[in-house]
């Protein structure tokens, strides 16, 4: 369900039968302060028995140690198969809480309440849940669909502007990979988008979620067309890992989109004019497009080859063919990567 103002009414019976249920809200330290108590009060008003658990905000919480600590807390508090886990937060909380839900007692129902734009347009939809491993991002996880996703674009009002922009990178990714008309809209409305116009933002979120949901329904387990959604992510994930997660996911995806479109142009897969349009849109949304200096090239290269999209020994890329069209499983010769670095 996507609706401005939905959060205020989240624990109403129309979203779920909360009455008498044991509900475990998992959130992070920032979102707990902003929205946690409000959700706890409305769950209590519906006669649910609710607990809130929180982890420190940021990517560094998305790991096996934190997941295990959450599982221990849940077991100590008596979680049962018919309990409900609510993931309240950004993509870190969604991936982590979803992973905990998938594994505890061999699977407990969970609901996504995404509060960042990255989470609203991407991570809360599609059931990819997981944690990072020292050898790379998202290497441990599962496909585990949420029972529901509740999206309120108004909660984005409290998001730091940098985090809002990070989410725009995923919106651009979905549009440029799948829908030339949506890309045209973003191109022509870039200024209003950066001003966070709520009706326009709601429309973009609805379109992005619909596009993603269609792809997920066609290929839930990422063995075919869903790989398109990894556009910009092969370089993006390697950048995140090589920067020890100082570069945030959305920013890394923006740089990845720009870098991978440059590779596609050099490989004569993509017309330069389309590559230039993409870079112009990213810049208009104030997203980074230039590769930063990489202090550990070895870490970058090893993250590239261990990325879960790789098969055999070489990284497989998703590359743009035109605005709205991609090629998946492209072998990129090593010299193009070396040029980037």
Q: Which residues contribute to the site for ligand NAD (CB under 6 A)?
A: 28, 30-31, 34, 57-59, 62, 89-93, 95, 115-116, 118-119, 122-123, 126, 128, 137-138, 155, 158-159, 163, 166, 249-250
Stretches 17-25, 121-129, 138-146, 276-284: which one binds ligand GLY (CB under 6 A)? 121-129
In the set 137, 226, 248, 249, which binds ligand GLY (CB under 6 A)?
Answer: 226
Cβ contact 116:59 at 8 Å: no
Question: Binder to ligand GLY among 30, 54, 128, 249 (CB under 6 A)?
Answer: 128
User: CB of 175: closest distance to ligand GLY in angstroms?
Assistant: 14
Least CB distance to ligand GLY at residue 212 (A) = 7
Strands in 49-55's sheet, in edge-to-edge order, are 49-55, 22-28, 84-89, 109-114, 148-149
- Which CB, 85 or 270, lies closer to ligand NAD? 85
- Tell the smallest beta-carbon distance from residue 324 to ligand NAD (Å): 20
With H, G, I as helix, E, B as strand and everything else as coil, classify residue 23. strand
- The Cα 271–Cα 291 span in angstroms is 21
- Residue 10's binding partner among ligand NAD, ligand GLY, none (Cβ under 5 to 8 angstroms by kind) is none
Residue number, nearest CB to ligand GLY: 229
Q: Which stretch binds ligand GLY (CB under 6 A): 222-230, 270-278, 292-300, 317-325?
A: 222-230
Pick from 229, 231, 247, 323 the residue near ligand GLY by CB under 6 A: 229
Minimum distance from CB of 127 to ligand GLY (Å)?
A: 8
Residue number, 89 or 275, with CB nearest to ligand NAD: 89
For the chain, percent helix, then strand, then coil, each to nearest 5?
55, 20, 30
Nearer to ligand NAD, 265 or 300 (CB): 300
Select 79 or 247, whichever has its Cβ closest to ligand GLY: 247
Q: What DSSP designation does 228 have?
A: G
How buried is residue 203: exposed, middle or buried, by Cβ count under 10 Å (0-12/13-18/19+)?
Answer: middle
CB of 210 to ligand NAD, least distance (A): 16
Q: Which helix (H) or strand (E) holds 82?
A: none
Give 111's contacts (C-beta < 8 A, 6+ positions apart). Answer: 16, 84, 85, 86, 87, 146, 147, 148, 149, 150
Q: Alpha carbon 3 to chain centroid distance? A: 19
- The yes or no reply on residue 240 touching ligand GLY (CB under 6 A) is no
Q: Which is nearer to ligand GLY, 36 or 256 (CB)?
A: 256
Sole window of 122-130, 154-162, 249-257, 268-276 interacting with ligand GLY (rule: CB under 6 A): 122-130
What the block records as the tokens of 256 is 């990845």
CB nearer to ligand NAD: pick between 85 and 92: 92
The pair of structure tokens assigned to 98 is 């979803």
Interaxial angle between packed helices 249-266 and 272-284, expressed in degrees from 0 to 180 and rounded to the nearest 10: 160
- Tell me the two tokens of residue 12: 């109403």
CA distance 84 to 218: 27
- 226 touches which of ligand NAD, ligand GLY, none (CB within 5 to 8 A by kind)? ligand GLY
Instruction: Give the DSSP H/E element, type plus range, for residue 195.
Output: none
Residues lying near ligand GLY in the complex (CB under 6 A): 122, 126, 128, 222, 226, 229
């Amino acid at each position: 369900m996507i609706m401005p103002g939905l959060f205020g009414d989240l624990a109403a019976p129309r979203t779920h039968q909360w009455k008498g249920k044991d509900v475990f809200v998992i959130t992070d330290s920032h979102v707990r302060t902003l929205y946690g108590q409000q959700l706890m009060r409305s769950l209590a008003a519906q006669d649910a028995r609710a607990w809130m658990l929180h982890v420190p905000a940021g990517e560094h919480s998305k790991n096996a140690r934190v997941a295990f600590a959450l599982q221990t807390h849940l077991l100590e508090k008596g979680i049962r198969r018919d309990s409900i886990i609510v993931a309240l937060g950004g993509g870190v909380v969604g991936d982590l809480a979803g992973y905990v839900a998938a594994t505890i007692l061999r699977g407990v129902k969970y609901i996504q309440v995404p509060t960042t734009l990255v989470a609203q347009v991407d991570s809360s939809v599609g059931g990819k849940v997981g944690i990072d491993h020292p050898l790379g991002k998202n290497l441990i996880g599962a496909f585990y669909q949420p029972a529901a996703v509740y999206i309120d674009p108004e909660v984005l009002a409290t998001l730091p502007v940098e985090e809002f922009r990070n989410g725009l990178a995923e919106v651009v990714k979905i549009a440029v990979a799948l829908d030339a008309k949506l890309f045209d809209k973003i191109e022509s409305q870039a200024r209003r988008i950066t001003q966070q116009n709520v009706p326009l933002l709601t429309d973009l979120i609805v379109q992005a979620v619909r596009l993603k949901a269609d792809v997920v329904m066609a290929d839930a387990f990422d063995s075919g067309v869903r790989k398109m959604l990894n556009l910009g992510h092969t370089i993006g994930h390697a950048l995140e890992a090589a920067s020890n997660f100082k570069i945030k996911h959305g920013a890394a995806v923006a740089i990845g989109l720009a870098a991978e479109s440059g590779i596609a142009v050099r490989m004569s897969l993509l017309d330069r004019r389309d590559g230039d349009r993409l870079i112009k849109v990213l810049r208009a949304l104030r997203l980074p497009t230039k590769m930063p200096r990489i202090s550990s090239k070895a870490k970058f290269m090893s993250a590239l080859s261990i990325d879960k999209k790789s098969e055999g020994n070489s990284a497989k890329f998703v590359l743009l063919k035109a605005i709205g069209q991609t090629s998946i499983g492209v072998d990129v010769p090593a010299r193009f990567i070396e040029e980037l670095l």
